[in-house]
Amino acid sequence: MSNLIRIIIRALFNTLTRVRIHGIENVPQIGGCLLAVNHLSLLEPPLVFGLLKRDKITALVAKKYRQKLFFRWLIRAVDGIWINRDETDFQALREALAFLKDGGALGIAPEGTRSQTGALIKAKTGVAYLADKAGVPVVPVAVSGTETAFAKLKRLKRPPIEIKFGKPFNLPPVKHRTRTADLQRNTDEIMCRIAALLPPVYRGVYADHPRLKELLEAKPPLETVAR
């Protein structure tokens, strides 16, 4: 069922939108990893899920969508993990850790909610926590164009969407004595790597971060595939 849903999603994006894909070869085909994605609309999770052809891939999904019949069926069909964004959801974290340690690729939005500004907002430390506990690499994923896609579709236009997959990287360990500072440092690293893949207008609160400036100076070119 999961593969069929992926094929349908891919076909819909190819038909209704104009997707440009960069660096998809950076996503590991085996082993646990976190796909850290910026969040502008409802389209990022299905876009990432539909594009990647590797086995064992799912995402953390806000529990509020559980109330909607279609979303509930869809998330169950792809083995999604429900999470309560309004509190520390230990059950969801345990499920996510188990999935990662079992070799799964887990999509997650570090910001925790959709940006209302059209650019990056301050992220939570959940992704850094999972990366540390599971001992898996993080793949930064930057999406642009989804924030206006629905409006353009209503006008019968094929909206352009761009998605970039950065190279996977491992974060330094989180030490017990400096846990809060270490988690924040690692969270900033994740977000700056996402920001480095985005056009300047999307970089939001991380636009002037010193680490972003370092990454931009050393940024390698990405391969592009137009769809």
Asked whether residue 225 is assigned to any structural domain, the reply reads no
Q: What is the pLDDT of residues 195-213, one digit of tens each?
A: 999 999 999 999 999 999 9
Give domain status of residue 227, yes or no. no
Summarised one tens digit per residue, pLDDT across range 73-117 is 999 889 899 999 878 889 999 999 999 999 999 999 999 999 999
How many folded domains does the chain comprise?
1
Residue type at 180 in one-letter notation:
T
Res. 224 pLDDT band, cuts 50 70 90: very low
CA distance 118 to 149: 12
The answer to the question of residue 226 being in a domain is no
Residues facing 160 on adjacent strands: 18
The pLDDT, as a whole number, for residue 64 is 87
Collapse the DSSP code of 114 into the 3-class scheme (helix H, G, I; strand E, B; otherwise coil) and give the result: coil
Cα–Cα distance for residue pair 38/155, rounded to 1 Å:
25
Q: How far apart are the first and last CA of the chain?
A: 24
Is position 31 within any domain?
yes
CATH of residue 77: 3.40.1010.10
d(C-alpha 193, C-alpha 132), whole Å: 17
User: Which structural domain range is residue 130 located in?
Assistant: 2-12+21-220
pLDDT of residue 220: 62
| DSSP calls for 34-79 | EEEE--SSTTHHHHHHHH---SSEEEEEEGGGGGSHHHHHHHHHTT
For 11-25, letters b (16+ CB in 10 Å) and e give eebeeebebbbbbbe
- 47 burial (CB, 10 Å; 0-12 / 13-18 / 19+) is buried
